[in-house]
Amino acid sequence: MPFTVDDLLALPDDGYRYELFDGSLLVSPAPAVLHQRVVGQLLYVLGSAAPPEMEPLPPVNVRVGDRDCYIPDVVVVPSAAVRSMALMVEPGQILLAVEVVSSCSRSRDRHLKTAAYAAAGIPAYWRVEVDEGPVLHVHELDGDSYGTPTTHRAGTPAAPAAPFPVSFDPAYLLEQRSNP
């Protein structure tokens, strides 16, 4: 019997990440420290470039119907909507979803989530492949699917335009934070 979002909400808060894909429960351990560094750096980069009407956020629950719930590592949403958001966010509120690929999420982030985010109508999807240098893959919605991604390798500035213009070297995502 497939799981529902209501079943998901009844699970314990035990540090694992629970997601639903067409009623199938997917469980991941808490993200590794390096993964969290990349998420923090992304939040800094996006927060520094975001116009006031857009806000980057760390992981949120994105509910798509009764049998699908995804948890992107970073999202960008309209700032005006943040106060009204509850435990679950609707995909129509997401302007950008970002996944930082981990060894336990590789296939899910590369294939399953790419198709799921496109089907949910999320306009932009970024996938960060940490083990590749890192590399940033930028997907933009073209109809009901993402076109061929634009790939940005470490050492070369990436300048995605959606959901707003931002420029950074993907290598920055792995750098240790320093005091100004």
DSSP state of 111: I
pLDDT value for 178: 63
Every domain of the chain and the residues it spans: 31-174
Enclosing H/E stretch for 151: strand 150-153
Fold of 31-174: tt1808, chain A (3.90.1570)
pLDDT 10s per residue in the chain (180 long)? 799 999 998 998 888 889 999 999 988 888 889 999 999 999 999 999 999 999 999 999 999 989 999 999 999 999 999 998 888 899 999 999 999 998 777 778 787 899 999 999 999 999 999 998 899 999 999 999 999 999 999 999 999 999 999 999 999 999 887 644
* pTM over the 0.85 mark: yes
pLDDT value for 103: 78
Q: Are 50 and 56 in contact (CB under 8 A)?
A: yes
pLDDT value for 13: 85
DSSP 48-71: HH--TTEEEES--EEE-SSS-EE-
Dihedral of CA 145/72/41/44: which sign?
positive
